[in-house]
Amino acid sequence: GEDVEQSLFLSVREGDSSVINCTYTDSSSTYLYWYKQEPGAGLQLLTYIFSNMDMKQDQRLTVLLNKKDKHLSLRIADTQTGDSAIYFCAEIRDNFNKFYFGSGTKLNVKP
């Protein structure tokens, strides 16, 4: 299909790991991105991965990329209540002109 797909909701307990999944569409996408949106705010860039990488780690965040399956995931270790937000994945298409965003995964962290 044409859409970048994400599950809508994820609920975890504080201290657990969270894994947010995304399926993208363009196998030629060069960069894939993860953004975080807190209530009433814009999108904050969390991390991104270049398509020739399988994994990227940045403190509590780990991004895994499976190009064969066009699957991207974001793992948050030791999830905190402050991590509660909506997480968007995004890919670039059309000769780098357009970002396409998934519908977002709402992460709820229970104390």
104 binds another protein (CB under 8 A): yes
Exactly one of 88, 91, 107, 109 binds another protein (CB under 8 A); that residue is 88
98 binds another protein (CB under 8 A): yes
Question: Of residues 8-47, which lie at the interface with another protein (CB under 8 A)?
Answer: 30-31, 33, 35, 40-45
User: Is 70 within 8 Å of 25 (Cβ atoms)?
Assistant: yes
Gap between the Cα atoms of 99 and 109, Å rounded: 28
Gap between the Cα atoms of 69 and 110, Å rounded: 31
CA-based nearest residue to 101, from 45, 18, 17: 45
7 binds another protein (CB under 8 A): no
CA-based nearest residue to 109, from 16, 8, 12: 12
108 binds another protein (CB under 8 A): no
99 binds another protein (CB under 8 A): yes
74 binds another protein (CB under 8 A): no
Only one residue has tokens 């298409």, namely: 93
Note the residues at the interface with another protein (CB under 8 A): 30-31, 33, 35, 40-45, 48, 88, 92, 95-104
